[in-house]
Amino acid sequence: MGEVAGADGASVASAAIAGAAKPSQRWSREDRQTFFDHFAISGDVAKAAAAAGKTARSAYALRRRSTSFGEQWRLALDDAYERMEAALVRQVLGDTDTKLDVSAALLLLGRRPPAVIDVATTPRKVADRNSPRAKAERELLQRLQAMSKRSRAKAAE
């Protein structure tokens, strides 16, 4: 059986196969939800995009084009930071078998962008360095670093 050629001379069958191989550029509500669910857990754009059937490149492009997507991105990334912070605390306290690189985790948490104050009313406004939350986060990081040093010193004994 012969193939039907399209207007540009390409076969309809090969066009369908080629189209199936490329992820769609359109992001449905479900695609966005899947992406943000995975991104909040992993903090990995490429893995989250793949879970949604998209590419990391299209995720970054959508973030540049869509303010609401960018806001959701920041919230999901903040969730990922909070998960890492909680995992680090559990590890330092000895409540988990998970082994994080404490130095790398503290470095990442120290470079964490300030939290968004109120996404609904001020999507781009960030916390003041002297806000109670920013001070608490700095104090928590200092305490985690001190606890990490003490646990390393005990392990070396």
pLDDT in tens, 117-156: 444 444 444 556 677 777 777 777 788 888 777 877 777 7
* Nearest partner of 46 among 93, 38, 105, judged by Cα: 38
What are the tens digits of pLDDT across the range 1-32? Answer: 444 444 444 444 444 444 444 556 789 999 99
* CA–CA dist 62, 82 (Å, integer): 24
Q: Report the percent of the chain where pLDDT is more than 70.
A: 73
Q: Is the dihedral of CA 76, 79, 85, 87 positive or negative?
A: negative
Residue 144's alpha-carbon distances to 39, 105, 139, 141, in angstroms, are 25, 10, 9, 5
Chain mean pLDDT for the chain: 75
CB atoms within 10 A of CB 12: 11
- The answer to whether 124 and 131 are in contact (CB under 8 A) is no
- Please give the torsion angle defined by the CA atoms of residues 105, 106, 108 and 113, in that order, rounded to the nearest 10 degrees: 140
List the domain boundaries for the chain: 25-65, 74-157
**What predicted TM-score, i.e. pTM, was given to this entire model?**
0.55
pLDDT of residue 24: 60
